Amino acid sequence: MVEVEAQADLLFKDVAGYLKADDVSRLQSAYHFSEAAHHGQFRKSGEPYISHPLAVAKILAQWHLDPQALTAALLHDVMEDTAVTKDEIATTFGRPVADLVDGVSKIDAIEFQTKEDFQAENFRKMLLAMARDVRVILIKLADRLHNMRTMQAMDAERRRRIARETLDIYAPIANRLGLNAIYQELQDLSFRYLHPTRHRVLAKALKTSRGNRREVVGKVLDAIVARLKEAGVEATVTGREKHLYSIYNKMLEKQLSFAQVQDIYGFRVIVRDVNACYIALGLLHGLYKPIPGKFKDYIAIPKANGYQSLHSTLFGPFGMPLEMQIRTHEMHKIAEAGVASHWLYKSTDSELTELHRKTHQWLQSLLELQSTSGNAVEFLEHLKVDLFPDEVYVFTPKGRIMALPRGATAVDFAYFVHTDIGNRAIAVKINDELMPLRTELRNGDRVEIITAVQARPNPAWLNFVTTARARSQIRHFLKTMQLTESVQLGERLLTQALATLKTSPSDIDETGWDKLLRDCGLKTRRDLHADIGLGKRLAAVIAARLLQLAGDGAATPRIAGTIMIRGTEGMAAQLARCCNPIPGDAVIGLVSKGQGIVIHTQDCAVIRRNRHESDRWVDVQWDDKTRRAFGVNIRLSVANERGVLAQVAGAIADAGSNIDNVNVDQADSSAYSTINFTIQVSNRFHLAQVMRRLRRIPEVVRIARVKGTQRERE
């Protein structure tokens, strides 16, 4: 305990340098409260448990965090590991401290199906608390950093699990918040526990290399200092070694041996102002030749986490690459402390203001992800995508710079601007040229999204979008639309099923409905209708059960009216791709789980295969008011004459139809070819008109409509 007391005294001495005496006194009270709560508890290493909260508070004190955050750090495990409640903390130390402690604490009261669900829900809780108050994640990062520093006492399996979690979630969050020092230390510690042998071998190789290159690095350092001094540029120049995990990653990505990784050393030049940064860059380029394509200006276009510097790689002595970072003192503070610089440096610099704005923007995006993600695991999946480290910078039509993850598409950009822009996007202009929405954006692109009021997201977008925001908003829209359409369809199906039993929904009293909902484990009729519309429950079975519960199970069935369809019902009623039905075709609906009703032609092979499942069939009929175009496939055998394709295309256009797709198959005989068209028609009568026009062409020797693997001769 003597060592713990000394640790506590050191903490109070540190904070006394920037906190008021009353704040230090309250902090001491929090320490004694936490010590009493954790009395008799020990860490795996054998140390008293209170040593951990003290270490976490000490890390935060280095950032000059406020008294509330330091108090929460000392208490951050009491709710989780002791009998102390949130209300007790709120009564003793105030509601803000209690909220911070609660944000960091794990969820223990809920039972989860899997460990992954439990972890995902904990992350979601913590990150949503962080979105309200960034100090939550600062405490959690300090907590994780100390745990990683002291993991030796744990078993190997647990060390690996925690290290993987740290590398996947906590290190990227530290990077996203601009906490560079913590980011790199968490990566190196994770690497050490995930791959202990590789870490040990690399560390040894780096130590040997350091001795071999010390003289060269010293000469380079002296040359840089002398060149800057000669030009009258005041600068602090330091040499730095790349972190082990960074070296390991480069070896992995580029399939290099350690001996081939030459840019292990870098140099940092810290100058007075922005102008001096560019002057220093020119001087260094005059001293050593720059490597083409290895220059990045993060001053003009800062990273999303607020980081600013000039980066350039130069050819040093003996061909050794030298990585240069040039920045101002203010930029250096932000690069090291990130969002914590708000507390560490009481400054009104525009750089800090911009950093806070970007951080706030990202935290708000977490709240949006939460509202559109279906569950905690999906939220965590989106978050991992959002923590993508590399960025591409593009411009809006008004010249505003926007940072997106590398690989982002025009659709990602649209959702980044605004959810409504994404939902209504129909095309994009990149650098004033019309391009597909799936086009991958590059640095410097000027992007303009074209929208339409009636447009809506395409499910195929999920195959190429890269940002969490776009993915979650598309999924949210599709789920909402599918639910709405499924509810409407399910209600119609149930009404039809009840009609076959000579009753209607209004004839069933509330008691019958309540019993049915309880039996199905549902809360509302809307939920029931949605399940029926999505094919999860069969309307005929639900109708029979409903009458049974209502005490009217002996009703005599009769034939009900059919459901009218227009082909525009959306996701709840889909047209089968196997037979491509169009108005005028005899059709039937097949209830498919998760898809709702799929409309087939009555002679479709799928219907024949499912003839024994008649309870899944639904009578449907085309609505006379149907006003849309339907895709249909036709196959033509034509004589190989010059201009025949143009004649066929002209005839299709004259009949008022559009061509969606065309391809030509060479027939066995060189005298004839087969042409396959996908055309747009409004109904079966319109298709017949198109075919009649095509038959008038002398070179057309055969024509057929193609339904999947079938042909319907006209």
**Closest alpha carbon to 267 in 206, 311, 329, 323:** 323
Catalytic annotation on 81?
Answer: yes
Contact criterion met (CB below 8 Å) for 1 and 42: no
Contact criterion met (CB below 8 Å) for 170 and 143: no
* Helix or strand (DSSP H, E) at 589: strand 587-592
Query: Which residue has tokens 């944000």?
Result: 103
Contact criterion met (CB below 8 Å) for 261 and 250: yes
Tell me how far apart the alpha carbons of residues 543 and 504 are, in angstroms, rounded to a whole number: 10
Tell me how far apart the alpha carbons of residues 54 and 48 are, in angstroms, rounded to a whole number: 11
Residue 615 is classified by DSSP as G
Q: Catalytic residue among 23, 47, 80, 440, which?
A: 80
Contact criterion met (CB below 8 Å) for 495 and 579: no
Tell me how far apart the alpha carbons of residues 158 and 203 are, in angstroms, rounded to a whole number: 23
- The per-residue DSSP string of 519-577 comes to HHT-SSHHHHHHHHHTTSS-HHHHHHHHHHHTT-TTPPP-PPPPEEE-S--TTSEEE-T
**Closest alpha carbon to 71 in 51, 53, 49, 45:** 53
Tell me how far apart the alpha carbons of residues 137 and 170 are, in angstroms, rounded to a whole number: 9
Contacts of 184 (CB under 8 A, 6+ apart): 243, 245, 246
Distances (CA, A) of 516 to 398, 498, 546: 57, 14, 6
Catalytic annotation on 386?
Answer: no
Q: How many residues does the chain have?
A: 714
**Looking only at Cα atoms, what is the longest distance across the chain?**
105
Contact criterion met (CB below 8 Å) for 562 and 499: no
CB atoms within 10 A of CB 301: 14
Contact criterion met (CB below 8 Å) for 450 and 425: yes
Beta-strand pair 630-639/658-666: unpaired
Tell me how far apart the alpha carbons of residues 648 and 674 are, in angstroms, rounded to a whole number: 12
* Helix, strand, or coil (residue 2): helix
* Helix, strand, or coil (residue 304): coil
Beta-strand pair 391-395/401-405: antiparallel
CB atoms within 10 A of CB 211: 8
**516's tokens:** 């049915």
Contacts of 435 (CB under 8 A, 6+ apart): 410, 428, 429
Tell me how far apart the alpha carbons of residues 202 and 182 are, in angstroms, rounded to a whole number: 21
Tell me how far apart the alpha carbons of residues 264 and 711 are, in angstroms, rounded to a whole number: 67
Contact criterion met (CB below 8 Å) for 316 and 220: yes
Tell me how far apart the alpha carbons of residues 540 and 496 are, in angstroms, rounded to a whole number: 9
* Helix, strand, or coil (residue 159): helix
Q: Catalytic residue among 23, 47, 66, 81, which?
A: 81
Beta-strand pair 617-618/587-592: antiparallel
> Catalytic amino acids?
80-81
